[in-house]
Amino acid sequence: MFFKSLRADINAAKRNDPAARNKFEIWLTYSGVHALSWHRTAQFFYRIRFRLLARMISQSAKFFTGIEIHPAAKIEPGVFIDHGSGVVIGETAEVGSGTVIYQAVTLGGTGKQSGKRHPTVGRNCTISAGAKVLGDIRVGDGAKIGAGAVVLKDVPPCATVVGIPGRIVRINGEKTPDLLPEKEDPLLKEVCALRERVIALEEALGRLSEGK
């Protein structure tokens, strides 16, 4: 099972990184692949209740790769952590296969919850550099989180989220209704009416002045 997961992780790296030349190079040099391998070892010991040893393995992986994954986190085979430095994945987080995670991403808690307090990320998602996905929320399959976004609410499948706080700007490639341009701006219409009124009054005053 360990080697099957490792092969899936290497294949994910080869598929998602244009700079990857071959699988042997990925196995030797990719910190994201190393971190996931260490994580699965730590997770094994965590499940059999050797939890101190599991945390020691987790912290060793953090020291060597810059990626911190709690031993209890559930990560499916085929996840790709690109570059990876500064990535933090919390205890109750779940990540589906095919997901790509870039550097400085946090899948964390808000500090106000107990039990399931970290996000569940679906399959084939993209979480861009510096994004923070916080709390017991669900990120749907195929969703994209923009760089630096802070996501505190559920994200539907195939949605694109940007900003602080995160807001949905596209679903299935289409702009969401609240971002579509207004066909008629009522404020602009009112300003134009006032401007026309002012011009009419100025012309009336000019005619009165001429009459005098």
DSSP state, 181? Answer: P
Asked if 127 and 209 sit in the same domain, the reply is no
- Average pLDDT of the residues in 17-36: 88
Beta bridge partners of 129: none
Asked if 207 and 130 sit in the same domain, the reply is no
Asked if 158 and 187 sit in the same domain, the reply is no
Asked if 159 and 197 sit in the same domain, the reply is no
Asked if 144 and 201 sit in the same domain, the reply is no
Between 18 and 96, where is the model more confident? 96
Asked if 210 and 158 sit in the same domain, the reply is no
Rounded to whole angstroms, how far apart are CA atoms 125 and 109?
19
Asked if 93 and 165 sit in the same domain, the reply is yes
Give per-residue pLDDT as tens, 100-150.
Answer: 999 999 998 887 677 889 999 999 999 999 999 998 899 999 999 999 889
Rounded to whole angstroms, how far apart are CA atoms 103 and 81?
8
Domain residue limits at 175: 2-179
Q: Tell me, what's the pLDDT at 179?
A: 54
Number of folded domains that form the chain: 2
Asked if 120 and 142 sit in the same domain, the reply is yes
The mean of the pLDDT values for the chain is 86
Choose among 28, 29, 6, 26: nearest CA to 16. Answer: 26
With 90 as the cut, is the pLDDT of residue 89 above it?
A: yes
Give per-residue pLDDT as tens, 146-179.
Answer: 998 899 988 999 999 988 888 888 888 767 665 5
Residue 63 DSSP SS3: helix
- pLDDT bin (cut points 50, 70, 90) of residue 9 is confident
Compute CA 68 distance to the chain's CA centroid, rounded to the nearest angstrom: 17
Main-chain phi, psi angles of 121, to 5 degrees:
-105, 125
- pLDDT bin (cut points 50, 70, 90) of residue 57 is very high
- Average pLDDT of the residues in 23-27: 88
Look up the pTM and report it.
0.75
Q: Tell me, what's the pLDDT at 34?
A: 92
